[in-house]
């Protein structure tokens, strides 16, 4: 049962408005987590130099992810895609660095990637559900 719940968290079954909203909320929470952790690490890097391959310029990335998280709370399809693309670019950079010690980070990044994909799926499903609902109400 716990395994099934974990799988549903990573790849949500989206069949109605509440499940779509839950997928988007999960993606938003993931984006807040990423923004917070990136902000902390890049803040430390500003003071002490690069940490874990992250320097102070990652504050820009943290800010972008914070805006995406905020907009995801408002079910923005554009910002769901921005968060996904930002995460994909970061994952690509991790993989291309080829550091074997980063294997755990890459696996965690893949799990987070699934959450962002769920956010994109959720925002588009919400738009589709709302369009269907308004068409039924008007018809």
Tens-place pLDDT, residues 92-139: 887 787 666 667 777 888 899 999 999 999 999 999 998 887 766 665
Residue 91: pLDDT band with limits 50, 70, 90: confident
- Of the CA atoms within 13 Å of residue 33, those in its CB half-sphere come to 12
Q: Note the pLDDT of residue 99.
A: 64
Is the model's pLDDT at 90 over the cut of 90? no
Number of domains in the chain: 1
**What is the model's pTM?**
0.85
Does residue 118 fall inside a structural domain? Answer: yes
Does residue 130 fall inside a structural domain? Answer: no
**3-class DSSP state of 54:** strand
Host domain of residue 25: 21-125
Does residue 135 fall inside a structural domain? Answer: no
Mean pLDDT of 38-61: 87
Does residue 9 fall inside a structural domain? Answer: no
Helix-strand-coil split of the chain, %, nearest 5: 85, 0, 15
Q: Note the pLDDT of residue 92.
A: 86
Does residue 11 fall inside a structural domain? Answer: no
């Amino acid at each position: 049962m716990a395994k099934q719940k974990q799988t549903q968290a990573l790849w949500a079954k989206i069949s109605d408005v509440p499940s779509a909203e839950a997928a988007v909320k999960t993606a938003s929470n993931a984006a807040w987590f990423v923004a917070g952790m990136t902000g902390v690490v890049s803040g430390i890097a500003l003071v002490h130099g690069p940490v874990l391959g992250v320097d102070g310029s990652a504050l820009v990335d943290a800010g972008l992810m914070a805006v995406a998280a905020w907009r995801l709370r408002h079910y923005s399809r554009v910002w769901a895609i921005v968060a996904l693309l930002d995460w994909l670019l970061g994952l690509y950079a991790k993989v291309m660095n080829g550091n074997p010690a980063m294997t755990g980070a890459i696996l965690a990044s893949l799990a987070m990637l699934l959450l962002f994909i769920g956010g994109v799926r959720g925002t588009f499903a919400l738009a589709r559900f709302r369009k269907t609902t308004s068409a039924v109400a008007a018809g």
